[in-house]
Structure formats: C-alpha cells, structure tokens
Chain A
Amino acid sequence: MSKDDVILKAEGLYKSYRMGEARVSVLGGVDLAVKKGEFVAIVGASGSGKSTLLHILGALDRPDKGIVSFEGRDLSRMGERELNKFRNKMVGFVFQFYHLLDELSVLENVFLPAMASKGVFGWLGSRRWARGRAGELLGELGLSERANHKPYQLSGGERQRAAIGRALMNEPRILLADEPTGNLDSATGNGILKVFEKLNRAGQTIVMVTHDERIAQKAGRIITLADGRVK
C-alpha cells in the first residue's frame, strides 16, 4: 500500500469509558489504514468497539491515546474550527437510525450540511445551488417524489437513502456508515448496499460498520474487531 493512497489511518487507538466505578476498555490499540476508493467493512460482535472506532475516525469522538490522520493530517492537532470543517466537508456520516430532522423536509435535510457550512449571507448566495444539488442527489437515490415529504412520512429504506443523500451533499472524501442496514429488512438493506456499491464504483471511499458478516461480504475489504483490537 503506497503512502499516498492512504486517506485515513489509525495508529494505536485506545478508548475506554467510565461505567460507574469501573472503567471499560473499548479499544485497546487499533491500527488500520483505508485507501482512497476503498470500501471497507468493519465487523465484530456487539460491544467490540466498531461504532466507537467509526466515531473516532470521523472526529465525533476523541481517542484516549493514539493518532488518527486524514490525508496525512493528524486530527488531534486540529482546532475546533478545523474539526467542524472536517466533519462538514471531508466526512459524510450515515447512521443506523438515519438521524434526520423531523421538522425539515427530505430536501431540506439533504441540503442541511451545505447550509451549515455557510453563513447567513453565504447561504443566501448559494441557496439555489444547494437546492439543485440536493434535488439531483435525491433523483439519483430515487427519492425525487419524496423531496417535500417529512422524514416520518417515509419508509425505513427511504429514510436511509435520504440520510445517504445528506452525507453526500458536500461531496465528502470518505463516507462513514454505522450499521446502515441494521434497522432495515433484508431486501431494503440490500438496496442500501447497492447504493454503496454504486457510489464506491464511482470512486467514493466508504468505511462501513456492521455486525452482519453477510453484508460485510459486499465490501472490498473486511476488518474484524475483537476485544478492542483488529484481528
């Protein structure tokens, strides 16, 4: 693996949580590297630290020890402003429970990251573009008819596709998906996986966490976590 191909790298990641009096170790020295354009699946049993690892890779959480570098830049050296920018521009998150805002329409949910990256005046200037881009994404994801619906009016699969649209809004370098099919039936889950495969074929780097080996098989590479370490 050439050094230039690596987009995301984790070295010696440790993470533990306090649970009452005890301290529970979740990650115990995880090392991994993800290349540009790769589709990586992280698998492991429940509680093995998959989601924690994904959150750390996406700068939603900080490790107790270890380094996460994105395109060679150490995330721990980034300030709060840079991390926000990183989460907004470089990474797109897809969660198991979609996490769409119920008050907004599907279209508004999709262009939300573009809105978040602009100030009031910046948003006024780029609003038309953002709506257009969100509309395109919804078209690609087969949700054009649902653009003005509220999330609670959509099925689980549609909601997840809307969440994928939101994750892709700012054309992130890497898509991080946490159990994206975990809340869906098998057929719908397969549909979501097909979307991921299509995106990956178009060059999108994807890191997906799942506990389902069958789903993980769709990825180009599988990393197994056990007892807080890569097996």
Chain B
Amino acid sequence: MFIVVVVMTVITGLVRDFKASNHKWVGDCVVGTESLVGFPYYEDFIKRIEGSDFIEGVSAVVKSYALVKNRDLEGSSGAEIMGIDPVKHSRVTGFGETLYHRKNDVSKAFEPAYDPNLAGCVVGIDKWLVRDEKGRYSYEVSPVEAALMVSCFPLTSKGALAKAGTDLVNTKTFYYSDTSHSRLAGVDSEFIYLPLEETQLLCGMAGPVKRISEIHIKFKPGVKLEDGCDKVAALWKRFVEEKKSEKQAELLDTVTVQSWKEYRRAFIAAMEKEQTMLTIMFALVGVTTVFIVFVVFYMIVSHKSKDVGILKSIGVSNMDIIELFSYFAFLMGLSGSAVGAFCGWLFLLKINRIEDLLFKHFGFQLWDRTMYAIGDIPNTIDSRVLAVIIVLAIAACLAGAFLPSRRAAKLEAVETLQVSQL
C-alpha cells in the first residue's frame, strides 16, 4: 500500500504536470498543418472565429526549422523556430508565464532590455542556460547582449525553394531578449521564439498571400474541449469550402483541427504508457496480494475449523460465517490501507527533503536534474487515486478471503467437533 501510494502519486503527479505544461504551451485547440509550406487565408479564418461566443483567444503561429549561430561563438546548431505575436499568444497559451525578464510585460518579449530597438528573440531555457544538479537555472539579472543569426530555407507555396539559384537561405540576426521555461524538456531545449512577421519573412510565408503553420485557440471557460474542437472543425470545414476557388486553396486541405491532447499525443502517450505499465505492474502485485490473502485465510480457516463448528452448533448460519471472515478481511484491508496511506503521505510530505539529504550526503538523485526537466518530485496525493487504491486493496482482501470463507461456511459442525478432529 505504501509503495503503491508513493509510486502512483509520483507518476500521476509527473503525468499531470506534464499534461498541464503541454496544455499551457499549446492552448486548447490547434488548426494547423505539418507542412513547412504552411497555409494561407488564416487572417480571414481568425477574423471569423474571433467573433464566436466560445472563443477566448486566437494566435497565429509559424513553425519551422532553422540554423542558429551565436555571432560571438564558433559553429551553429539546428533549432525549431516559432513565430508568434507574444501578446496574442499569451492570451491563448501560458507563454507569458514562461518568460523570466518580461514576465510582467509580455508585449516587450521581443525587445532586448539592453536595446529595445533591436529585433529580439526568446530562447528555450535549456538552449541558453545550464541547470545545476538541483535543477535550478542561474538566471542573469538582466539579459546579456547576444546576437543570434537565424537562417531558414524559404519555401514557395508549392514547396520549392523560394531562392533557388541565389542565396538559398534567408538569414536575420535576432538579439537575445529572454528565456522561456515551459517545463517541457523537448520544447525548452529546441525552440526559439521570434516575432511572427519576421518569421514569415524568413520562411517565405510573407507576401501578397501570407501563410502560417498553425492557429492556436483558447476556448472560453466552461466550453468542453471536444465540443469546442468540433465547433472549430465545423467552421474550418465551411471555411475551406468557401475558399475552394481561391489561389493556393489546395494548401488548406493539409490542415487538421486537433485538441491539445491530440496535438501533443506523441509526447503525452509515452508518459501515459509508463503510467499504464506501472498500473499493470501494481495490478499484478494486487493479484499476488489476493493469493497471499487467500493462503492466509485458508490457514486461518484450517486452524479455526473447530471454532467454526462451535459457532454453527449455537446456530450461526453459513452466511454469517462468510460475513464474519469477510468482515475480518475488510478490516484487514482497511487497516492495512490506512497504515499504508498514512506512511505514504508522511513519506511524500518529506520526499523532496529526503532526496535533498540523499543527494547532499550520498550524491543520489531520483532523476538527474541536469538531464530531466523535473523540478520538485510531485508529492500531492490525488484523492481519487488514493480512494481507488484503498478500494482495490480492500477488494483484494475480500477476494482473497472469499474462497476460504466459503470453505469455512461449508464445514460440518459435527465433523469439526468430533473428538478425532481435536
């Protein structure tokens, strides 16, 4: 019980935090394409849905890949770039909260504090800062001046290289203005956030028919995720029909409408899979528990057969005998659960302190904070998970006790009280 409570609390907490971080990073719904070409007429669609009564906010996003070179350092590295309007994007996602220097004024996210006139960029925190072994980042008091040269291959609406035969790549220098800490390892170590229009220019998505990769949407409070996504999908379907005869309309066919869960399925599924595997493992432990309880009760019944005979001789019914053993099993499950849950709660309460002490004295860490995007170990007990664990523990005791109880009930008093049986 203790182990189940601790492990399930930690894994459930990790999955819950991971989902929450993904939700915050994406918003509720995404209308987008995986094609690097993007899709056009997004402004028309945004205008249309912004007036809908279930929409809280909408943000146009350009996503692409780039080569990034720090002007003061040797070599370059690959990165994913995300072009956004920081204010609009913060209405839809938790982008504003992920910033460090511009947290309180998201509109200035792309204005480097050392020179607001320069084109700024926000860098995923793990791309910029190093975590110490306790998982803390050593933030600067104010952003250091650094120029990042971002190079992209601009593509035409047909997917061809827009600058074939010439320079091939578009390069623009952005100045480091802030870091973004989304608490998603893959995101914080890969993404660089740039102003939307600049990103469109870099990717060849500007021009008379501007294109983007995605529209991130946030629903009004109370709107169910599935309902909201269905409504957006219906609106998008109608919109595509209307734009059928327009230029580049074929690009709209590559666009899908997904909830944030579907959009991040590949990442969430891996975590959920681990949780499911742990649940299965504990279910197997549960089966073993049933067997152990069965053996214990079988022995109790064998040992107490005379007592069962005595009870039957004074008129106790078979059902009463089953009830008696079941009540005993119930109390055993309940008391075991209570003790296990209490010890689990106590351990979880101090789990981070225990880990700190273990790290301080023995260098042991459950997760290496320099590698994993985990801060404190989640230790908030989910009351529903706890209730399910307690109910299953009691059920396991009752299930294990059932057959021996039935056997006890079937004992014949006259046989168990025979002199030869004593």
A and B bound? yes
A interface residues with partner B (beta carbon < 8 Å): 55, 58, 60-61, 80-81, 84-89, 93, 95-97, 99-101, 112-113, 116-117, 166
User: Does the CB pair A93–B419 fall under 8 Å?
Assistant: no
- Choose among A61, A81, A101 the residue that contacts B310 (Cβ–Cβ < 8 A): A101
User: Does the CB pair A81–B313 fall under 8 Å?
Assistant: no
CB neighbours of B412 from chain A (8 A): 61
User: Does the CB pair A80–B317 fall under 8 Å?
Assistant: yes
User: Does the CB pair B306–A99 fall under 8 Å?
Assistant: yes
Q: Cα distance A85–B310 when bound, in Å? A: 15
CB neighbours of B312 from chain A (8 A): 60, 87
User: Does the CB pair B414–A60 fall under 8 Å?
Assistant: yes
User: Does the CB pair B315–A99 fall under 8 Å?
Assistant: no
CB neighbours of B309 from chain A (8 A): 99
Q: List the 8 shortest-distance A-B pairs measured between CB atoms, nearest first.
A: A88-B315, A87-B315, A113-B314, A61-B414, A84-B315, A84-B317, A60-B414, A116-B316
CB neighbours of A81 from chain B (8 A): 317
Count of A-B contacts judged by CB separation below 8 Å: 51
B320 within 8 Å of A by Cβ? Answer: yes
Which residue of chain A has the shortest Cβ distance to B307 in the bound complex?
A: A101
Least Cβ–Cβ distance between A9 and chain B, in angstroms = 21
B413 within 8 Å of A by Cβ? Answer: yes
User: Does the CB pair A93–B317 fall under 8 Å?
Assistant: no
Q: Flag B297-338 by CB within 8 Å of A: 1 or 0 each.
A: 000000000110111111111101000000000000000000
CB neighbours of A89 from chain B (8 A): 315
Q: Flag B408-422 by CB within 8 Å of A: 1 or 0 each.
A: 000011100101001
Q: Cα distance A81–B310 when bound, in Å? A: 17
- Choose among B313, B316, B318, B414 the residue that contacts A99 (Cβ–Cβ < 8 A): B313
Q: Cα distance A86–B306 when bound, in Å? A: 21
Interface majority SS (helix, strand, loop, mixed), chain A: helix
Least Cβ–Cβ distance between B228 and chain A, in angstroms = 51
Least Cβ–Cβ distance between A215 and chain B, in angstroms = 18
User: Does the CB pair B307–A85 fall under 8 Å?
Assistant: no
Least Cβ–Cβ distance between B313 and chain A, in angstroms = 5
CB neighbours of A61 from chain B (8 A): 412, 414
Say yes or no: A116-B320 contact (C-beta < 8 A), given A60-B313, A88-B315, A99-B310: yes
CB neighbours of B419 from chain A (8 A): 96-97
30 A-B pairs (CB sep. < 8 Å): A55-B414, A58-B313, A60-B312, A60-B313, A60-B414, A60-B417, A84-B316, A84-B317, A85-B315, A86-B315, A87-B312, A87-B313, A87-B314, A89-B315, A93-B313, A95-B313, A95-B417, A97-B422, A99-B309, A99-B310, A99-B313, A100-B310, A101-B310, A113-B315, A116-B311, A116-B314, A116-B315, A116-B316, A116-B320, A166-B314
CB neighbours of B317 from chain A (8 A): 80-81, 84
CB neighbours of A85 from chain B (8 A): 315
Q: Cα distance A99–B421 when bound, in Å? A: 12
Q: Cα distance A149–B143 when bound, in Å? A: 82
Q: Flag B340-381 by CB within 8 Å of A: 1 or 0 each.
A: 000000000000000000000000000000000000000000
User: Does the CB pair A60–B316 fall under 8 Å?
Assistant: no
CB neighbours of A58 from chain B (8 A): 313
Q: Cα distance A116–B317 when bound, in Å? A: 9
Q: Cα distance A99–B306 when bound, in Å? A: 8
Which residue of chain A has the shortest Cβ distance to B315 in the bound complex?
A: A88
Least Cβ–Cβ distance between B415 and chain A, in angstroms = 9
CB neighbours of B422 from chain A (8 A): 97
Least Cβ–Cβ distance between B420 and chain A, in angstroms = 11
CB neighbours of B417 from chain A (8 A): 60, 95, 99
CB neighbours of A95 from chain B (8 A): 313, 417
CB neighbours of A117 from chain B (8 A): 315
Q: Cα distance A58–B309 when bound, in Å? A: 14
Least Cβ–Cβ distance between A175 and chain B, in angstroms = 13
- Choose among B306, B307, B320, B413 the residue that contacts A60 (Cβ–Cβ < 8 A): B413
